[in-house]
Amino acid sequence: MIGSAAQSELDLSAHSSTNRITSPIGIPVVMPKNIIDGRINTRDIAKIDEETANRLSAHRMHSGDIVYGRRGDIGRRALITESEEGWLCGTGSLRISLGESELDPGFLFYYLGSADVISWVQSQAIGATLPNLNTFDSA
């Protein structure tokens, strides 16, 4: 689709950070339930300690990344801002990072929300009860 042009990086975040959520303070872990109306809702957001977050540094999100729900209500997405810099992409989400691409993250964010794209992504999901994107072909 757009991956070759964007040279994007997809992080399927199949880590088990949620097993180590122990503190009301720490580094937020963004799950699909936290993605509401194109933004990250921090109410009841899970957090992990800094040591665990450092071990999971490959899942850290950066300004301009897009976090995308890959379970359940597929199509939920949020554009990461400076406020969420360093937060973790949790299980059930994937992170799209454009790296050095010239593609504007805001454009991609809105493109991913278009009816045609959402319909296509939903057609790629598996699972009758809880749709799930196991893999995502970014080419």
Is 127's pLDDT higher than 70?
no
Answer yes or no: is 136 within a domain: no
Answer yes or no: is 129 within a domain: no
Residue 110 CA to residue 138 CA, distance in Å, equals 17
Answer yes or no: is 131 within a domain: no
Using CB atoms within 10 Å of the CB of residue 52, give its burial: 0 to 12 exposed, 13 to 18 middle, 19+ buried. Answer: buried
Per-residue pLDDT reduced to its tens digit, 87-99: 999 988 889 999 8
Answer yes or no: is 130 within a domain: no
Q: What share of the chain is helix, strand, coil (3-state, %, to 5)?
A: 30, 25, 45
Find residue 69's DSSP bridge partners: 93
Q: How high is the pLDDT of residue 95?
A: 94
Per-residue pLDDT reduced to its tens digit, 14-63: 444 444 555 678 999 999 999 999 999 999 899 999 999 999 999 999 99
pLDDT band, very low/low/confident/very high, at 123 (cuts 50, 70, 90): confident
Strands (E), the chain: 9-11, 27-30, 35-36, 39-40, 46-48, 66-69, 77-79, 88-89, 93-97
Answer yes or no: is 86 within a domain: yes
Q: How high is the pLDDT of residue 70?
A: 81
pLDDT band, very low/low/confident/very high, at 124 (cuts 50, 70, 90): confident
Q: How high is the pLDDT of residue 87?
A: 97
Residue numbers of the domain that contains 24: 3-124
Answer yes or no: is 21 within a domain: yes
The CATH number covering residue 87 comes to 3.90.220.20
Residue (of 77, 84, 80) closest to 98 by Cα position: 80
Q: How high is the pLDDT of residue 47?
A: 94
The conformation of residue 136, written as its DSSP 8-state character, comes to -
Answer yes or no: is 79 within a domain: yes
Q: How high is the pLDDT of residue 134?
A: 59
Task: Report pTM.
Answer: 0.77
Answer yes or no: is 138 within a domain: no
Q: How many domains does the chain have?
A: 1
Find residue 66's DSSP bridge partners: 79, 96
Using CB atoms within 10 Å of the CB of residue 107, give its burial: 0 to 12 exposed, 13 to 18 middle, 19+ buried. Answer: exposed
Per-residue pLDDT reduced to its tens digit, 66-89: 999 887 777 899 999 999 999 999
Residues in the chain, how many? Answer: 139
